[in-house]
Amino acid sequence: MTIKGSRSACPSSRSRRIIPLAFAAVMSCMHGGAQSEAKSSTVSEADVGRLGPEQEALVHQARLALGVANDSLSRTRLRLQQAQNEEGAAKADQQAAAADQKVADAQQKLANESRAPDELEKARQLQEQARVHKQVADLHAEYASKHIDQRKAEVEAAERQVKVAEARVEWSKLQALEQAQNPAATKYDAGRFQTAVNDAQGEFAAATQNAKSREVQATTARQQWEESQRRLEASGSSEQTGTGSGK
């Protein structure tokens, strides 16, 4: 009987030890969760759900700004696609210039063999036109490349702007909780939210500055390409006039 009694007491003793340990584990998890939220710069949807409709105005405005930023990003990505189409046109221009050069070389070969003055003059004109066409095509390709760089930089800036808007949405959630004097607000570190916004704004400013610099480079390249186009057109007109007067 004594032996049985000692055995029946063992489970009860173990239970008394397990319960405090389980309680300590639960408290540790809760404390760890609170620490995790304090280190986070996002507000849980469960906490946001505690806000009333009249308390969500600040969050609503921030979400509208996020929507505008996302729309701007979509338009900027579309402009990048259009710029990439320009690169294809520039490559086609270079191929056409290469074809002109082949024609000019063939004419030059015939002129060199015949030594006829009119053939030599025609060869000279074709060589000059091919040279200018190649210059125009190369400047077109350079512009297309810089234009793509500009659009890529603008996409990056737009992406950074979205990050700013996202950080502001999270901060607005915490501000709304604070204004509503909701106890959930005490779980978060407001400084981390402000830091997240400031960091995102700094990255956005740097990306915007890079995009502006790329735009200047692309604009200069475009002007050089357009000027070369005008020279090519003027050269073609003068050659036609010269041929006409010769006749």
Three-class HEC string of the chain: CHHHHHHHHHHHHHHHHHHHHHHHHHHHHHHHHHHHHHHCCCCCHHHHCCCCHHHCHHHHHHHHHHHHHHHHHHHHHHHHHHHHHHHHHHHHHHHHHHHHHHHHHHHHHHHHHHCCHHHHHHHHHHHHHHHHHHHHHHHHHHHHHHHHHHHHHHHHHHHHHHHHHHHHHHHHHHHHHHHCCCHHHHHCCHHHHHHHHHHHHHHHHHHHHHHHHHHHHHHHHHHHHHHHHHHHHHHHHHHHHHHHHHC
Is 127 among the domain residues? yes
Is 5 among the domain residues? no
Is 45 among the domain residues? no
Is 8 among the domain residues? no
Q: Return the pLDDT at 29.
A: 39
Which CATH number does the domain housing residue 178 bear? 1.20.1270
Domain count across the chain: 1
Is 17 among the domain residues? no
Is 63 among the domain residues? yes
pLDDT tens-digit series, residues 29-56: 344 444 555 567 899 999 998 888 888 8
Give me the domain span that covers residue 142.
51-240
Higher per-residue pLDDT: 80 or 241:
80
Is 98 among the domain residues? yes
Q: Return the pLDDT at 28.
A: 42
